[in-house]
Amino acid sequence: MRSWPTGLIALLALAPFGIAHAADMPIKAPSAPVTATIYSWAGFYFGGNGGYGWKDPSVTFSPNDGNAAASTCFGGPPPIGTCAAPASFNINGPLGGLQAGYNWQFDQHWLLGFETDFDLSRIRGTGISNFSLSGFPANFTASENVTSFGTVRARLGFLPMNNILLFGTAGFAYGHVDENVALNSVAGNGGGSLTFGYNCVGGPNCFVGSSSRMATGWTAGGGLEYAVWQNISVKVEYLYVNLGKGNTVDVVSVAPNGVPGQAQSSFSAGYSTVDFHVVRMGLNYKLN
């Protein structure tokens, strides 16, 4: 008879006990799958922005009385002056301010919100129109400066990914606009009639006019906003801002030419529509 090794017999004898012990050991459950954090855009937010604005205004000039007309291009043949051509120029500059708003997120891909903002700005520039006044060289210098503006807008947003927002926006706009005009000629240039006259005593600024006003209108644009971390997002946007019909500034002679009872001659400077373009970046913090 064949004999089995003593060690093998002992191992076979203990095997059932090892299998039973293994069956009693707890089995570790598989790890739950890791899911990406879903960013919620719903709620109030606030932040700051900075950017750049620009436009291309124009100003036209026309005499307001017979003497101003006779001193430029309406004096009859041969004319003793020339008409002042329109001044076309560019205004541009930096801007910066604050914004706040609220979003309602309907589902995974769409939201509706409102936003209001206010920016200080230096969107400004000056144009020049050269002409002849009573036969002497002269020019109009006209400037425009948008010193501040704000908007109240609705926003409609689409979410191609949960942390990327593409939006269109439109609403109400307002802004503070300064306009200044001066007529400059040679010292001593003067002229007039029994009713109207002027005297360029020093030459520069012998006719001046200015306006400082609050204008209202509308705005529209769009942009992209990206949630970078928890409640923080960054955005870039474009806005077209239209603050309505241009203003007319009276440019009045500083002094008549000394005839008793003579009124000061004047011109009108008609500004084009106050509108400008804005590109800016912003940082928002969303409240929980």
Count of Cβ atoms closer than 10 Å to residue 239 Cβ: 23
**Enclosing domain of residue 169:** 42-286
Residue 123: the pLDDT is 98
CATH of the domain at 156: 2.40.160.20
- Among the residue ranges 87-101, 122-136, 187-201, the one predicted with the least confidence is 187-201
Q: Answer yes or no: is 219 within a domain.
A: yes
Strand, helix or coil for residue 235: strand
Residue 99: the pLDDT is 98
Residue type present at position 226: Y
- Asked if residue 23 has pLDDT above 50, the reply is no
- Asked if residue 85 has pLDDT above 60, the reply is yes
Q: Answer yes or no: is 6 within a domain.
A: no
Residue 22: the pLDDT is 39
In percent, the amount of the chain with pLDDT more than 70 equals 86
- Asked if residue 3 has pLDDT above 60, the reply is no
68 touches 196 (CB < 8 A)? yes
7 vs 242, higher pLDDT: 242
Mean pLDDT to the nearest integer, 133-162: 96
Residue type present at position 133: L
Residue 18: the pLDDT is 43
Q: Answer yes or no: is 14 within a domain.
A: no
283 vs 1, higher pLDDT: 283
Using pLDDT thresholds of 50, 70 and 90, give the confidence band for residue 76.
Answer: low
CA distances from 25 to 13, 16, 29, 37, 121 (A): 21, 15, 13, 35, 73
Contacts of residue 261, defined as CB under 8 A and 6 or more positions apart, other chains included, come to: 194
pLDDT in tens, 190-241: 988 889 999 999 899 999 999 999 999 999 999 999 999 889 999 999 999 9
Q: Answer yes or no: is 23 within a domain.
A: no
Strands (E), the chain: 43-55, 58-63, 87-88, 91-105, 110-133, 136-161, 164-185, 190-192, 196-199, 207-229, 232-242, 248-253, 263-264, 266-271, 275-286
Rounded (5°) CA angle 68-70-72:
75
Number of domains in the chain: 1
Q: Answer yes or no: is 52 within a domain.
A: yes
Q: Which tokens belong to 49? A: 């922005």
Residue 37: the pLDDT is 61
State how far Cα 190 lies from the chain centre: 43
Residue 264: the pLDDT is 93
Count of Cβ atoms closer than 10 Å to residue 111 Cβ: 19
Q: Answer yes or no: is 50 within a domain.
A: yes
Per-residue DSSP letters for 128-180?
A: EEEEEETTEEEEEEEEEEEEEEEEEEEEEEEEEETTEEEEEEEEEEEEEEEEE
Calculate the average pLDDT of the chain. 88
Residue 19: the pLDDT is 38
- Asked if residue 16 has pLDDT above 80, the reply is no
Q: Count Cβ atoms within 10 A of the Cβ of residue 80 and give its class: 0-12 exposed, 13-18 middle, 19 or more buried.
A: middle
